[in-house]
């Protein structure tokens, strides 16, 4: 039996795919976007790594990282407030007259000195644009037993619509694989095929020393992107193991998908699939239990602590501290923390960011194909 416990360090890239969801990522990274009532997207990846015995986790940020740092703090909630290892946040580092990095290779180059001084044999790398409950311990074990140079996580699914038809600001890459006997034989960059594909989740396991050598090689050749510029070029020469993930995954790649993935959690089966198994940790706020005032009506909602419900809510996800005033009706909405919906207002297919105030007697409505977003701190 191969022992994978504490054999790896974790690296998370919080800003991957920010450009796909500019409304929610204008003042925060993808990793710190709120999800499922009380979590941030980064909570899922960090928690999964911690459950695999990974106690040395680094987040390499590019921009808009104040919200992320405020949420993570010292890492205490994930048992990562440690003298050795623990939680590290690396802000962007660029020499004079050089731009901040774009691709994964440039991000890794900025922390190469850190990687060279660590002692773990393996590195687990992941983005933070999805909520899932993956067993990284099993991934590391399978990688070690396979003897592969690199392992990549994929799932059999269709390519998300927002990737096939991106907005004009999209500058990221996505990948699908040809797989034979659990080995990646070919990697396709931004393919346009429809139907079920071997879709990459951008999660990797690789030996730390091998990764450092790859970073050096990439720097010499001027490469920017890890998968496109290195792995796809050398997949025929390397033993790249394909690890299939078959569990639940909420993939966030547009405002529409963000709304839909939150709504899917109103189905108890989906909620149980996401949170089945290992616990997902998050920042503790110590709110009081939610209060449902006489005359309020609640139907098929996910409501977090600290809310006060006086009106009517249906098919909604409410984050902490939301107040729904008397006579207000809120349907098919995602309401971020500390939002106040005034008396006799009506909201339908709305996403409100944090600290939004909806004045009394207002009517706001989107539809199931286009949700209206209200920015952080706005008063309507």
What's the rounded mean pLDDT across residues 290-299? 98
pLDDT at 5 over 80: no
Q: What is the CATH number of the domain that holds 94?
A: 3.90.550.10
Residues 259, 360 share a domain = no
Q: Burial of 84 by CB count in 10 Å (0-12 exposed, 13-18 middle, 19+ buried)? A: exposed
Domain endpoint, select from 244, 275, 306: 275
Asked if residue 102 and residue 50 are part of one domain, the reply reads yes
> Is 261 inside a domain boundary?
yes
Residues 268 and 298 in one domain: no
DSSP 1-38: ----TT-EEEEEETTTTGGG-TTTTSSS-GGG-EETTT
CA distance 81 to 275: 24
| Statement to judge: residues 22 and 169 lie in one domain | yes
Domain housing 52: 8-275
Strand partners, 222: none
Is 360 found in the same domain as 259?
Answer: no
Regarding whether 111 and 191 lie in a shared domain, the answer is yes
Residue 330 domain-assigned? yes
Please write down the long-range contacts of 76-80, taking CB distance under 8 Å and 24 or more positions apart. Answer: 77/281, 77/282, 77/283, 77/284, 78/46, 78/47, 78/50, 78/281, 79/50, 79/55, 80/46, 80/50, 80/55
As a whole number, the mean pLDDT across the chain is 94
pLDDT at residue 92, as a whole number: 82
Residue-wise pLDDT for 6-24, tens only, equals 589 999 999 999 989 999 9
**Count of domains in the chain?**
2
Domain presence at residue 26: yes
104: in domain: yes
- The pair of three-digit structure tokens given for residue 70, joined into one six-digit string: 């405020």
Kindly state whether residue 238 falls inside one of the protein's structural domains.
yes
pLDDT at 205: 99
Q: Given 220, 241, 275, which residue is the final one in a domain?
A: 275
Q: Are residues 236 and 297 in the same domain?
A: no
Beta strands 372-374 and 350-352 are: parallel
Residues 205 and 65 grouped into a single domain = yes
pLDDT 10s digits, 209-260: 999 999 999 989 999 999 999 999 999 999 999 999 999 999 999 999 999 9
- Whole-number Å distance between alpha carbons of 114 and 129: 25
Boundary residue ending a domain (275, 305, 331): 275
Write down the pLDDT at residue 304.
Answer: 98
Please give the distance of CA 339 from its chain centroid, rounded to a whole number: 23
250 shares its domain with 124: yes
Higher pLDDT, 166 or 271: 271
Residue 323 belongs to a domain: yes
Same domain, 205 and 166: yes
Given a cut of 90, is residue 48 above it in pLDDT?
Answer: yes
At residue 170 the predicted structure's pLDDT band, cuts being 50, 70 and 90, is confident
| Whether residue 252 is found in the same domain as residue 340 | no
In a domain, 1, yes or no: no
93-134 pLDDT, tens digit each:
655 545 566 789 999 999 999 999 999 999 999 999 999 999
What pLDDT sits at residue 95? Answer: 56
What pLDDT score does 235 carry? 97
pLDDT > 70? residue 278: yes
Question: How far, rounded to the nearest angstrom, does the alpha carbon of residue 87 sit from its chain's CA centroid?
Answer: 17
pLDDT of residue 100: 62
pLDDT at 293 over 90: yes
Say yes or no to pLDDT of 4 above 50.
Answer: no
Residue 132: inside a domain: yes
Question: Are 306 and 206 in a shared domain?
Answer: no
pLDDT (tens digit, 9 = 90+) per residue, 360-379?
A: 999 999 999 999 999 999 99
What's the average model confidence in pLDDT over 188-211? 97
The enclosing domain of 296 has a CATH number of 2.160.10.10
Beta bridge partners of 350: 372
Local confidence band at 171 (pLDDT 50, 70, 90 cut-offs)? confident
């Amino acid at each position: 039996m191969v022992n994978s416990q504490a054999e790896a360090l974790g690296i998370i890239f919080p800003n991957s795919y920010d450009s796909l969801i500019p409304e929610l990522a204008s003042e925060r990274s993808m990793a710190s976007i709120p999800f499922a009532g009380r979590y941030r997207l980064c909570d899922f990846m960090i928690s999964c790594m911690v459950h695999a015995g990974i106690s040395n986790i680094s987040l390499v940020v590019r921009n808009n990282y104040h919200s992320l740092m405020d949420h993570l703090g010292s890492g205490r909630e994930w048992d990562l407030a440690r003298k050795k290892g623990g939680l590290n946040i690396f802000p962007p580092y660029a020499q004079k007259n050089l731009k901040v990095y774009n691709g994964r290779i440039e991000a890794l180059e900025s922390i190469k000195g850190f990687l060279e001084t660590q002692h773990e044999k393996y590195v687990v790398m992941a983005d933070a644009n999805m909520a899932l409950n993956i067993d990284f311990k099993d991934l590391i074990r399978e990688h070690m037993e396979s003897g592969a140079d690199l392992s990549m996580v994929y799932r059999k699914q269709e390519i998300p619509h927002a990737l096939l038809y991106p907005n004009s600001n999209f500058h990221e890459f996505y990948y699908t694989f040809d797989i034979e006997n659990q080995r990646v034989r070919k990697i396709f960059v931004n393919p346009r095929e429809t139907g079920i594909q071997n879709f990459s989740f951008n999660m990797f396991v690789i030996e730390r020393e091998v990764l450092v050598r790859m970073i050096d090689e990439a720097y010499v050749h001027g490469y920017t992107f890890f998968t496109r510029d290195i792995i796809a070029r050398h997949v025929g020469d390397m033993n790249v193991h394909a690890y299939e993930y078959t569990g639940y995954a909420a993939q966030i790649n547009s405002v529409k998908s963000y709304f839909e993935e939150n709504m899917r959690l109103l189905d108890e089966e989906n909620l149980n699939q996401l949170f089945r198994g290992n616990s997902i940790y998050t920042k503790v706020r110590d709110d009081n239990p939610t209060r449902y005032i006489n005359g309020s009506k609640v139907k098929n909602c996910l409501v977090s602590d600290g809310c006060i419900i006086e009106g009517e809510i249906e098919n909604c996800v409410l984050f902490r501290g939301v107040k729904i005033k008397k006579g207000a009706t809120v349907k098919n909405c995602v309401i971020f923390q500390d939002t106040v919906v005034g008396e006799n207002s009506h909201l339908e297919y709305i996403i409100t960011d944090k600290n939004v105030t909806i004045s009394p007697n207002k009517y706001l409505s989107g539809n199931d194909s286009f949700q209206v977003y209200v920015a952080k701190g706005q008063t309507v």
